[in-house]
Structure 1
Amino acid sequence: MLQGKIALVTGGSRGIGKDIVLKYANNGATVISGDLIDPDYTHENVSFVKLNVTDRDNIKEAASKIKEQYGKLDILVNNAGITRDAILLKMKEEDWDLVVDINLKGVYNVTQGFISLLLKSGNASIINMASVVGLDGNAGQTNYSATKGGVIAMAKTWAKEFGRRNVRSNAIAPGFIKTDMTHVLPEQVIESVLANTPLRSMGESEDVSNAALFLASDMSKFITGQVIRVDGGLNL
Structure 2
Amino acid sequence: MTQGLLSGKTAVITGGAQGIGLAIAERFVAEGARVVLGDVNEATLADAVTALGGSASAASAVCDVTAAGPVQNLLDTAVRTFGSLDVWVNNAGITRDATMRRMTEEQFDQVISVHLKGTWNGTRAAAGHMRDHGGGAIVNLSSISGKVGFVGQTNYSAAKAGIVGLTKAAAKEVAHAGVRVNAIAPGLIRTAMTEAMPERIWDAKLAEIPMGRAGEPAEVASVAAFLASDLSSYMTGTLLEVTGGRHL
What is the TM-score with the length of structure 2 in the denominator? 0.91
Runs of 4+ in 1 over 3 A off after TM superposition: 64-72
Query: Structure 2 matches for 1:70-219, cutoff 5 A?
Result: 70-219=82-231
Alpha-carbon offset, residue 201 of structure 1 = 0.4
Cα distance in 2 for partners of 1:217, 1:144 equals: 28
Counterpart of 1:28 (choices 27, 32, 42) is: 32
Counterpart code for 2:15: G
1:36-63 CA deviation, whole Å, 9 max, x = no partner?
Answer: 1223332231111111102222223333
| SS across alignment from 2:139 | strand
Q: In structure 2, what is the Cα distance between the partners aligned to 1:7 and 1:121? A: 14
Residue 231 of structure 1: which of 238, 243, 246 is its match?
243
CA distance in 2 between partners of 1:93 and 1:224 (Å): 34
CA distance in 1, matches of 2:130, 2:182: 14
In 2, Cα distance between equivalents of 1:160 and 1:113: 16
- Cα distance in 1, alignment partners of residues 243 and 18 from structure 2: 20
Deviation at 1:160, TM superposition (A): 0.4
Corresponding letter in the other structure for 2:165: A
1:64-102 alpha-carbon deviations (Å, 9 max, x no partner): 343444553110100000000011111111100111111
Count the aligned residue pairs: 236
- Quick one: structure 1 residues 3 and 94, their matched pair in 2 at CA, closer, same or farther if it must change by over 3 Å? same
Q: Percent identity?
A: 40
CA contact (8 A) 1:67 1:117 kept: no
SS at match of 2:101: helix
Q: Does 1:63 align with 2:70?
A: no
TM-fit CA distance, 1:113: 2.4
Shift of the alpha carbon at 1:164? 0.6
Are the equivalent residues in 2 in contact too, given 1:73–1:120 (CA < 8 A)? Answer: no
**Distance (Å, rounded) in 1 between the aligned partners of 2:151 and 2:202:** 14
Distance 1:13 1:219 in 2: 26
Task: Flag structure 2 segments of 5+ consecutive residues without an equivalent.
Answer: none
Unaligned 5+ runs, structure 1:
none
Residues in 2 aligned to 1:121 and 1:193: alpha-carbon distance in whole angstroms: 44
Distance across 2 between alignment mates of 1:115 and 1:184 = 36
Contact between 2:127 and 2:179, CA under 8 Å: does it hold in 1?
Answer: no
SS at match of 1:28: coil
**Kept after mapping to 2: 8 A contact 1:72/1:117:** no
CA distance in 2: counterparts of 1:123 and 1:129, whole angstroms: 20
C-alpha contact 2:12 2:78 (8 A) present in aligned 1:
no
RMSD: 1.4
